[in-house]
Amino acid sequence: MRPRAFGRPYAEEVLQPVKAGYVSVTLIVALLLNLLPLSGWVLMLRPDFIALVLLYWGLEHPRKVGFFPAFLLGLAMDVAHGSLLGQHALAYTGLMFAAIALHRRVPMFGVRQQVLHILGILFLAQLTVLAVRLATGSDFPGWWYFLPSASGAILWPFARHMLTVRLRPRSDREEI
């Protein structure tokens, strides 16, 4: 068995350096996906795309995305929801912390095992929002409230692939 590089045993491929432009484009696309005018059960199932993309950058490239973009996107979500200013900012800040703190551990696992980690982190982020809402006098909306965590975790392998694809080095042109 080949000796594994420290910290990243499964990162066998060498990726291109991440440009700040690419990071911001992915975050804006995630924001657009979150703003889609959905309703009914589709809305109930819709994963939090911003949380997923933030998790990807936090886990894979913890130096590229810090707390500030997470905080700003949280504020944007609060305004779009018309909810209390700061609840999503709080949730995304916590999520970013979890991602950066776990960035040496989670990539050690295969993609399928990562899903469980993602599920836990997304669940905690939703729990933060729920705690703020309960503290300000809302009722518990029901267990379906946590469905986006599950759908987000299920979507993780796909999202991870989509975000990594652009970072793979192009095939050598000299060979052709």
Partner 1 sequence: MEYSPPPFFRRGPSLGTRLISFFLLSLALLFADARFGYLDVLRRGVGVMLYPLQKLVELPGETASLVADLFVTQATLRSENDRLQRENFMNAIRLQDHDAIAAENARLRELLELQPRVERASMVAEILYAARDPFVKRIILDKGSTHGVQAGAPVVDAQGLIGQVRRVFPWVSEVTLVTDRDQAIPVQLVRNGRRAMVFGLGYDGALELRFMPINADIEAGDVLVTSGIDGIYPAGLPVATVTGIERNAAYPFARVTSVPAAGVGSHRQVMILDPGEALPDRPPADEVQQRPRRTRRGG
Q: Which residues bind partner 1 (CB under 8 A)?
A: 28, 31-32, 34-39, 43-44, 63, 66-68, 70-71, 74-76, 79-87, 89-90, 93-94, 97, 100-102, 104-105, 132-133, 136, 138-139, 141, 145
CB of 145 or CB of 157, closer to partner 1: 145
CB of 35 or CB of 161, closer to partner 1: 35
Nearest distance from C-beta of residue 99 to partner 1, angstroms: 11
CB of 85 or CB of 161, closer to partner 1: 85
Nearest distance from C-beta of residue 95 to partner 1, angstroms: 11
Nearest distance from C-beta of residue 74 to partner 1, angstroms: 7
CB of 136 or CB of 164, closer to partner 1: 136
Q: Name residue 56's amino acid.
A: Y
CB of 35 or CB of 154, closer to partner 1: 35
Give the dihedral sign, CA 77/82/88/90: positive
Nearest distance from C-beta of residue 87 to partner 1, angstroms: 6
SS3 letters for the chain? Answer: CCCCCCCCCCCCCCCCCCCHHHHHHHHHHHHHHHHCCCCHHHHHHCCCHHHHHHHHHHHHCCCCCCHHHHHHHHHHHHHHHCCCCCHHHHHHHHHHHHHHHCCCCHHHCCHHHHHHHHHHHHHHHHHHHHHHHHHCCCCCCCHHHHHHHHHHHHHHHHHHHHHHHCCCCCCCCCCC
Nearest distance from C-beta of residue 137 to partner 1, angstroms: 9
